[in-house]
Structure 1
Amino acid sequence: MRTAREQFDRLVSTHRVVPVITTLFADEETPVSIYRKIGGGPGSFLLESAHQGVWNRYSFIGGEVYGRLIATGERVEWIDNGLDRERAFGTDFPTDGLAALELLAARWRTPRIPHLPRLASGLVGHIGWDAVRLVESLPNPPAREHRFPDIAFGFVRDLVVLDHASGNAHLVTVVLADGAASPDQLWTAAQARLAALTAKLSTPRDSSVTEVDMDAAPQATARTSDEEFAATVERSKRHIVDGDIFQVVPSIRFDMETTARPLDVYRVLRLLNPSPYMYLIAAATEAGVPYEVVGASPEALVTVSHGTATMHPIAGSRPRGADAEEDAALAKELLADPKERSEHIMLVDLARNDLSKVAIAGSVRVSDFMNVERFRHIMHIVSTVVCDLREDATAVDALRAAFPAGTLSGAPKPRALEIIDALEPSSRGIYGGVVGYFDFQGDADVAIAIRTVTMSEGQASVQSGAGLVADSVAANETAEIKNKARSPLTALAIAESMQRTSR
């Protein structure tokens, strides 16, 4: 895969965004080794995917960005890294982070180029739970105990797409063909950036081989005690009995001091819990304080591809069996459990309702219903709900319609959100939001930010929740929350041991 000059000249006359690509044979490189060479700065990223324990063909590693969008509440900032704000947005600059994201994606919208990797240009980052106030009118915001922005996205300039099947690394630099420079200038600059990217990949790095304690145990502090959460369960059940809601999903945050490096946490997490959405996002606050989001999410909030929006409600779980026979028995038990079925059907109905807000009338459909999907340590009931987007609906509209996930809020969603604000001691931050991308062809893929670690200045946090219904038992729900948090917390502890014992 290589962009020829003749092809480039054709594309810059019809496209505002043109990925210029060269390919290297790099069968000895890994996604982690490439990230060590080109990543780490604000806006860089590492995105991978594994389904039922099998890694997907491509990994995406982002390096330099043209700029970064940062938003909290009505405060929206553009951090220029080569693309000034007026050129990025035009003369109108929204005071709503989602509107700014939508404008940026629309302003640089460009026709599809065949045969490119799934992600070759676009915006990569996160939308935290606290952005819910941009889509729902909620009173009494809870206390804010973190300093992460609600929304943070990088405008991708350089990335590497690693093809595990061929051993090739496709080096991509994104050209902005908006008339600010001539085709000759754009081509020359693109070739210089590809040469710099090649030089980075060719530079040897110190060995990452290390001693490690795979039995390291996390030493985290729960923001909410077991006794406090038991009271939360009882308050939630009263709301359910009173008819306010059918379900609500309160959560507990676990905090710990750490010397672990975010990339090491990612390395361990991808070993412990390979998932459909693996991510490491490096970012920075408005004040320039760096932070990272590291996760292994099993669930997308919504994907948009070629005008079709898809949601995959996940609810109901069992541990994996010790052998095939026990595994099959547990799956059968899961599908027969009335409580699990009821909760799952409620979430399927919620997904149908969410998508109907942006769908062509009559196009919402359930394409797969209540299948068991297996992960390394757990199995879930999964369904698929799809729709055809209206012509006037964007990928950001699809996000607005679905945000936040019903699996992290409850139903009916607006009232459940109010109750969560009242029950939890502080705002959720990035937990329960989304991590992913919006590209410049109108597509998007955003995962729910669960099984996720947030890290900044020696502090790390993991948060998880439990879906409460009328017959929930506090001890069981507390155990479920701790079990969900175990994998990312363990990854933190093991990664910290790597740093302590490396030579």
Structure 2
Amino acid sequence: MFGKSEPHLEDFRERAASHRVIPVSRTLLADGLTAIGLFETLCTDRAGTFLLESAEAGRSWSRYSFVGVRAAAMLTEQGGQARWLGKVPVGLPTTGDAWSVLRDSVTILNSSSNSNGPDGPDSPESHGQHNDSGPRFTSGFVGCLAYDAVRLFEKLPDDNPSEVDIPDLAFLLATDLAVLDHFRGTVTLIAAAINFDATDERVDEAWHDAMSRLDAMQTALANPVGVNVSRAASVPTAGTGRTRSHTTNDEYREAVDRAQKYIREGDAFQIVLSQRYSTPITARALDVYRVLRSSNPSPYMYLIRIPRESTEDGGGQMSDISVFDVVGSSPEALVTVEDRQCTVHPIAGTRQRGRDAQEDRALALDLLADHKERAEHVMLVDLARNDLGRVCEPGSVDVTEFMEIERYSHVMHIVSSVIGRLKEDSSALDALRATFPAGTLSGAPKVRAMEIIDELEPDRRGLYGGVVGYVDFRGNLDMAIAIRTAVIQDGVAHVQAGAGIVADSDPEAEAQECVNKAGAVLAALDVAQSLAPVDAPGEGAGD
């Protein structure tokens, strides 16, 4: 019941005989907490923390909010080679290319992870497709893979400058979590007990350390930090003020013309060309997230504070001072893997939202009747089927949802769903590699489209078109495509959006599509800049 910690030491010792990672949990009644308040209380402005949430498109919020309170270590890369920061469990690979090190580390910890028993948050029963008795994620790696990480898998040109200086791979080894259950009104505190030395002598120490971390989180919750009730001093239009595009209208139109020439010559069927927008920002990343979750709730909401290396000792420690923030509300998963079932949701076809319900319905019908949009969508559904076919059992790949409309705050999209069952010799990360990057962000065929993108876009893409999400220690994975996302670094927020170019594309319409797609995040950045605590009546609250 409330306040009880599981597993007990004796049970823990039994499980530790064959497992190195065992989540230790404690559930508390917390019907007065919000996800934002929980993050403020447990994370403050510390690096290596995160907040993951989900809302159905235009509808209700999902049951759980996941707050990453602390990470023991982070796997990143330098020149494509793996680099660990923090405390790394003995036995995990420390050298080699970053992708291989991530894959092997997950394999090692997957084979040495454990459930908490039938009632614990990590029980297998709690993760079945038809059972929602517990949170899906309790321990694992959380982070991001930049679009440019594709060069770890494919030989592609790499001649463009990198204006946004972030690694191609950054995954936190999440050890302390707080999972808010909105349905039950509880918070489950989870400390992943890791036997860092893989020795029998450290088993009890790992359990006691996990209990101490649970106690520390509970103590913090005894003195919760309040979240200001806020108002916007002004409501600016998205992209106004000091926001600048890295590509002029003429440059983008010229790139579209050149892409269409490649398409007419048979090099590609579609090429996704993007534009980056940058704006100075002093607002906290959490305030940007607060605005975004209110104005544009989406299936994938995330705030991740990713540390750089500490400059104080140069010894591979994570800095709490030097960070970059990833804040997003992505509508689209690249791939999810749960109980070995893979799912891809192609999204292609876009219209701006209508001014009223009647216009909105008319725009949706127009979108579904648009020959270009339908052809583009069918092509990407076929691409998803082919990608999953590389790692799924023959005959298991199926289209379960086809050309439905999903609505968001600024735009609507055509969506489909493609599923398949992983082969016995394939892992969740194999599914990620097979589908990465999304065809909706590159074009088709993928490799040739990416070569053309490298030629026509002025900068490396960075996170845009990559993924944000988690891979857990039971073989599951959930990765959102990094769109509708801001990377905040050194006082500047970067937002990127693209449009799928085909033979009969209108350059002006494609340029406007980029603006429409970036609009929700640019607006959230502007509003966050102007947030202020509400005044008492008579002190300016009516402004």
Q: Same fold (TM over 0.5)?
A: yes
Q: Which residue of 2 aligns with 1:343?
A: 376
Q: Tell me the distance in 2 between the aligned counterparts of 1:401 and 1:127.
A: 14
Decide whether the 8 Å contact of 1:98 with 1:396 is kept in 2: no
Q: 1:126 aligns with which of 131, 141, 144?
A: 144
Deviation of the 1:214 alpha carbon: 5.1
* 1:249-288 aligned within 5 A: 249-286=272-309, 288=319
Q: Deviations over 1:70-96 (max 9, x none)?
A: 114323210123x35xx151xx43422
1:170-213 Cα deviation digits (max 9, x unpaired): 10000124436444323222211101011122224254223323
Decide whether the 8 Å contact of 1:311 with 1:351 is kept in 2: yes
Report the counterpart of residue 478 of structure 1 in structure 2: 511
In structure 1, what is the equivalent of residue 131 of structure 2?
Answer: none
**Contact persistence 1:135–1:403 (CA under 8 A):** no
C-alpha distance 145-325 of structure 1, shift in aligned 2 (>3 A): closer
1:378-393 counterparts in 2 under 5 A? 378-393=411-426
**Is residue 2:84 matched to residue 1:78?**
yes
Moved more, 122-131 or 333-342: 333-342
State the AA in 2 paired with 1:51. E
Which residue number corresponds to residue 49 of structure 1? 54
Task: State the partner residue of 1:179.
Answer: 199
Structure 1, 314-323 or 146-155: larger mean CA deviation: 314-323
Match of 1:16 in 2: 20
Query: Does residue 212 of structure 2 align to residue 192 of structure 1?
Result: yes
Match of 2:73 in 1: 67
Pairwise CA distance, 1:498: 1.4
Q: By how many angstroms is 1:466 displaced?
A: 0.6
Which residue of structure 1 lines up, in the alignment, with residue 228 of structure 2?
A: 208
Alignment of 1:91-490 (within 5 A): 92-109=93-110, 110-111=113-114, 113-114=123-124, 115=126, 116-177=134-195, 178-179=198-199, 181-213=201-233, 215-217=235-237, 218-219=240-241, 220-286=243-309, 288=319, 289-322=322-355, 324-490=357-523
Counterpart-to-counterpart distance in 2, 1:111 and 1:374: 39
Look up the match of 2:119. Answer: none
Aligned CA RMSD, in angstroms, stands at 2.0
1:37 alignment partner in structure 2: 41
Verify the 8 A CA contact 2:302 2:329 in the aligned structure 1. yes
Matching residue within 16, 27, 31 for 1:27:
31
Of 277-286 and 367-376, the range deviating more from structure 2: 367-376
Q: Which moved more, 1:253-262 or 1:214-223?
A: 214-223
Gap change, CA 1:185 and 1:313, over 3 Å in 2: same
Aligned residue-pair number: 498
How much has 1:472 moved relative to structure 2?
A: 1.1
SS of 1:467 mapped into structure 2: strand
Secondary structure class of the residue paired with 1:187:
helix
What secondary structure is seen at the aligned counterpart in 1 of 2:374? Answer: helix
Residues in 1 aligned to 2:361 and 2:279: alpha-carbon distance in whole angstroms = 38
1:195 corresponds to which letter in structure 2? D
Checking the alignment, whether the CA contact within 8 Å between 2:324 and 2:489 is kept in structure 1 is yes
Percentage of matched positions with identical amino acids: 47
Deviations 1:332-357 (A, max 9, x none): 33222211110000000111111111
Deviations 1:210-260 (A, max 9, x none): 332351244310000111101111111101111111110111111111111
149-158 or 132-141, larger mean C-alpha shift: 132-141
Q: Output the CA distance in 1 between the equivalents of 2:103 and 2:22.
A: 20
2:96 match: secondary structure: coil
Asked if the contact 1:77–1:286 (Cα under 8 Å) also holds between the matched residues in 2, the reply is: no
Question: In the alignment, is the contact (CA less than 8 A) between 1:45 and 1:62 conserved in 2?
Answer: yes
Structure 2 counterpart of 1:154, one-letter code: L
Distance 1:338 1:472 in 2: 11
Task: State how far apart, in whole Å, the 2-side matches of 1:501 and 1:430 are.
Answer: 35
In the alignment, is the contact (CA less than 8 A) between 2:410 and 2:516 conserved in 1?
no
Deviations 1:341-394 (A, max 9, x none): 100000001111111111222222212222222334432211111111111111
Q: Residue 327 and residue 74 in structure 1: after superposition, are their counterparts in 2 closer, same or farther (change >3 A)?
A: closer
Q: Go from structure 1 to structure 2 and tell me whether the alpha carbon gap of 1:146 and 1:364 turns closer, same or farther (over 3 Å shift).
A: same
Cα drift, residue 321 of structure 1:
4.2
Asked if structure 2 preserves the Cα contact closer than 8 Å seen for 1:283 and 1:290, the reply is yes
Cα distance in 1 for partners of 2:364, 2:516 equals: 19
One-letter amino acid matched to 2:458: P
Q: Which has the higher mean CA deviation after the structures are superposed, 9-18 or 40-49? A: 9-18
Task: In structure 1, give the amino acid aligned to 2:204.
Answer: D
SS state of the match for residue 232, structure 2? coil
SS, match of residue 211 in structure 1: strand
Cα 1:140/1:57, change in 2 over 3 Å: closer
Which amino acid letter does the alignment assign opposite residue 144 of structure 2?
A: H
What is the alpha-carbon distance in structure 1 between the residues aligned to residue 436 and residue 463 of structure 2? 13
Q: Take 1:376 and 1:144, find their aligned partners in 2: how far apart are those partners?
A: 31
CA distance in 2, matches of 1:214, 1:467: 34
| Worse-superposed segment, 21-30 or 182-191 | 182-191
Change in 2 beyond 3 A, CA 1:180/1:473: farther
Corresponding letter in the other structure for 2:77: A
- List gaps (5 residues or longer) in structure 1: none
Comparing 312-321 with 102-111, greater Cα deviation is found at 312-321
- Please give the alpha-carbon distance, in whole angstroms, between the structure 2 residues aligned to 1:27 and 1:181: 40
Tell me the CA shift for residue 17 of structure 1: 1.5
Mapped partners of 2:167, 2:156: distance in 1: 19
User: CA–CA distance in 2 between the matches of 1:278 and 1:214?
Assistant: 25
Distance 1:202 1:332 in 2: 52
Kindly provide the CA deviation profile for residues 13-32 of structure 1, in whole angstroms up to 9, marking residues without a partner as x: 34321111111111121111
Q: Give the Cα–Cα distance (whole angstroms) in 1 for the partners of residues 407 and 226 of structure 2.
A: 37
Superposed CA offset, 1:422-458 (max 9, x none): 0011101111100000000010000000000000121
Residue type at the aligned position of 1:173: A
